[in-house]
Amino acid sequence: MSDTLEERHARRMARKKTVVDAAIAKATDSHGLLLVLTGNGKGKSSSAFGMAVRALGHGMRVAVFQFIKGKMGTGEQSYLARDPNLLWDVCGEGFTWETQNRLRDIEKAEAGWARASQALRDPAYGLVVLDEMTYLFKYGYLDLDLVLAAMAARPPMQHVVITGRAAPQALIDAADTVSEIADVKHAFRAGIKAQPGIDL
């Protein structure tokens, strides 16, 4: 009598488990990771803030630095601000096309970076999120080499997440994990305004 579908499935899954278990057994290293979330699709900052929640859930201390944006607070900020293990620092004053003041944007970016680089020297922070940081490189507000040097010198167990479109190649090269989120479709283009709980 031939095997049932269930028996074939169980055998296939047993083979798969051997492969998955072997791959997991090989990953024995543990150190602070640099993650880059880039691309034109929606989901970069919300993913980074999701990792902040994960880290806080493990009792880790987390610092979030929000560059460029600032005026409109997010749901994550209002909710997570209650956690004593979280530092949430709004460095920017808005999009470049809203502030329309290059020198003031640069001043804000530099002051924000001064505070962020302090967190990047502090082993008490298990995770540092540098939200929308890639735009600082794009507009020339901050030197990428300076940031890469700070990444290399940070505490060995500290994780860092950098978000923003068009991540420079040198940053991608330095990162351990890079995700490029593609813009397949966005409700905004169908005339839907930003929705609380989804977009902010």
Q: If you search the block for the tokens 């920017």, which residue do you land on?
A: 92
User: With b meaning 16 or more CB within 10 Å and e meaning fewer, what string describes 164-177?
Assistant: bbebbeebeebbee
Q: Which is nearer to Mg ion, 3 or 98 (CB)?
A: 98
Helices (H) and strands (E) in the chain, counts: 8, 6
Q: Out of Mg ion, ligand ATP, none, which partner does residue 42 contact, by CB within 5 to 8 A per kind? A: ligand ATP
Which of 34, 37, 44, 159 is the binder for Mg ion (CB under 5 A)?
44
Name the region of 166 (left: φ>0; alpha: ψ -120 to 50; beta: rest): left
195 burial type by CB count under 10 A (0-12 exposed, 13-18 middle, 19+ buried): exposed
By rule CB under 6 A, what string of x and - marks binding of each residue 32-51 to ligand ATP?
--------xxxxxxx-----
Q: Which is nearer to ligand ATP, 45 or 117 (CB)?
A: 45
Q: Do the Cβ atoms of 121 and 154 come closer than 8 Å? A: yes
> With binding defined as CB under 6 A, does residue 134 bind ligand ATP?
no
The nearest distance, CB 9 to ligand ATP, in angstroms, is 37
The nearest distance, CB 45 to ligand ATP, in angstroms, is 3
Give the C-alpha distances (Å, rounded to integers) separating 91 from 15, 45, 103, 109: 51, 15, 14, 7
Q: Out of Mg ion, ligand ATP, none, which partner does residue 183 contact, by CB within 5 to 8 A per kind? A: ligand ATP
Q: Which is nearer to Mg ion, 18 or 40 (CB)?
A: 40
Q: Out of ligand ATP, Mg ion, none, which partner does residue 40 contact, by CB within 5 to 8 A per kind? A: ligand ATP
Taking the CA atoms of residue 73, residue 79, residue 83 and residue 89 in that order, the dihedral angle to the nearest 10 degrees is -10
Q: In this structure, what token pair is assigned to residue 135?
A: 């735009």
> With binding defined as CB under 6 A, does residue 73 bind ligand ATP?
no
- Under the rule (CB under 5 A), what is the footprint of Mg ion? 44-45
- Under the rule (CB under 6 A), what is the footprint of ligand ATP? 40-46, 132, 163, 183, 186, 188, 194, 199-200
